[in-house]
Structure 1
């Protein structure tokens, strides 16, 4: 997907710094007036992964047990090699958004609506507070499009290989990663090459050189890079790391970041507040907002290109390895 939106000259100075202060979940509004719900769709605090009373608790914990067990460095390498080909399926961006009507994120304790609702909730919340940052509106719309990996036409990957919080592989699993206890069943957990602070990486070597657990974030990043997108680097950073909560919420893994990562993290902090706190049972009037997002998509010349594995057994063998 090539993005041709002309970008304003962004200066990440005092204004942005002020807007990236730690969020107080009890505050009522975000930066420009977007109201923060005090509880999620089920009446619980956001990201309450250990709340046994939550309707989503058991399913979410079971998801992370599988995710943390099977997301190894070898698995990630196989998935990136296969899906970076981008040579099978082509479709328009809005068409891809509509496909997400069929996907509900099993890892999310805050929402059980189809994912197209979440895309529009995020984008509309950003649009309200940042009306002039059209690149950020579009980033909100497309940031989760990679969840189509869960659909049969895109390989039908299990949810543990598509959604959930992401984390680096090839180095020690930080204890701040949600449900860290399940990493003990991961083959890399006791591998001396991978279970140190830096593992196979170097200090301040840059997150672009770090292998992240495989899922919709990394896939959509590969789609954007593979189609020579002209979205700013902050948008690509948001797309690739918006589920990397151990970094942008807990402050872990900062020893792997370079100077460009530090600057882009400021925008991710802004984005995350809308990605998380816009989740609601209040439905978006799709037909009302659709013309605006179609106008943004019109600024994109080429199609959303995505990989469909040539043979189902290719993916199956990778998942079982």
Structure 2
């Protein structure tokens, strides 16, 4: 399948693959090619570029970093872990995301369903035999339904954005880390050390992450007895944990299983981040394939 990306760059070569360009679009059909710029024409995850959107992103992270405390996360996990909001299928949830835009993302202003399918189809092309990874890509952001009224209409800072451990020191690699100084946990002696309330090598399943769509979708998949492999659940729960998979922070908390799963997360991250371009996916064409994967790995209806 040939994918067209509407972007203004000239021909480039990435990972040994030649991309032909005619000033309006990049055309490729030999595997996934990382575009040079996001949908706004800037570098990916550039939090410093001058723009009205970037100012909003920084304000988002200030609020996020002040309010994501250990006690807050504990309360949210207890509240939403009950999964007593609604019953619906995975695909119904995908369709709900049509009206969701992530205010923390400096790279994307498309409806979330577009991003899910872009990511899934790009992975499907390069890893045709890993169907669990295709499905993981499709559902990894479904937890963003927490923004909708039927799920409590949580504020953006409690749903989206980069995630990080709470209950231990905030690493300097976390975006806009300066705002953690206003977080009540910042100078709490129980939480301000490298390991905090955890122990070295304890495993990420023992670590509380800042609350958001990642952890919520992980709880939904786990409690509804999904048969996705461990790596799939790991990707869902930690795909926004950029301090780990981009900067190598917090590796002292990982166990052996985490180390193995991290390899898949790093593969996934390339597609999750760099597929945020003007690729258009025919939803009706690919829908039967993803419905078959949902049937394979999930019950018909889930508790949310």
Give yes or no for TM over 0.5: yes
Question: Equivalent residue for 1:248?
Answer: 245
Q: Deviations over 1:103-127 (max 9, x none)?
A: 0000000001111111001100000
Q: CA deviation at 1:29?
A: 5.3
Q: Deviations over 1:178-208 (max 9, x none)?
A: 0001111100001111011110000001010
2:277 to 275, 280, 294: 280
Question: Equivalent residue for 2:232?
Answer: 235
CA contact (8 A) 1:30 1:36 kept: no
User: Could you list the runs of 5+ residues in structure 1 that have no partner in the other structure?
Assistant: 1-25, 307-321
2:37 to 26, 34, 39: 39
Q: CA deviation at 1:266?
A: 0.3
Question: Equivalent residue for 1:71?
Answer: 68
Q: CA deviation at 1:280?
A: 1.1
Q: CA deviation at 1:88?
A: 3.0
Aligned residue for 2:114, secondary structure, equals helix
Q: CA deviation at 1:30?
A: 9.1
Q: Deviations over 1:200-240 (max 9, x none)?
A: 00000101000000000000111111112111000010000
Normalised TM-score (structure 2): 0.89
Q: 1:186 and 1:27 mapped to 2: Cα distance? A: 44
CA contact (8 A) 2:87 2:303 kept: yes
Q: 2:247 and 2:162 mapped to 1: Cα distance? A: 12
- The yes-or-no answer on 1:80 pairing with 2:77 is yes
Question: Equivalent residue for 1:28?
Answer: 14
RMSD over equivalenced CA pairs, Å:
1.4
- The structure-2 alpha-carbon separation of the partners of 1:123 and 1:248, relative to structure 1 and needing over 3 Å to count, comes to same
CA contact (8 A) 2:146 2:213 kept: yes
- The yes-or-no answer on 1:180 pairing with 2:177 is yes
- The yes-or-no answer on 1:193 pairing with 2:190 is yes
Q: Deviations over 1:89-113 (max 9, x none)?
A: 0111111001001100000000011
User: Could you list the runs of 5+ residues in structure 2 that have no partner in the other structure?
Assistant: 1-11, 18-29
Q: Greater strand percent: which structure?
A: 2
Question: Equivalent residue for 1:48?
Answer: 46
Q: 1:30 and 1:258 mapped to 2: Cα distance? A: 34
Normalised TM-score (structure 1): 0.85
1:126 to 123, 126, 149: 123
- The structure-2 alpha-carbon separation of the partners of 1:29 and 1:288, relative to structure 1 and needing over 3 Å to count, comes to farther
* Moved >4 Å (runs of 4+): 29-32
Higher relative contact order (CA 8 A, sep 6+): 1
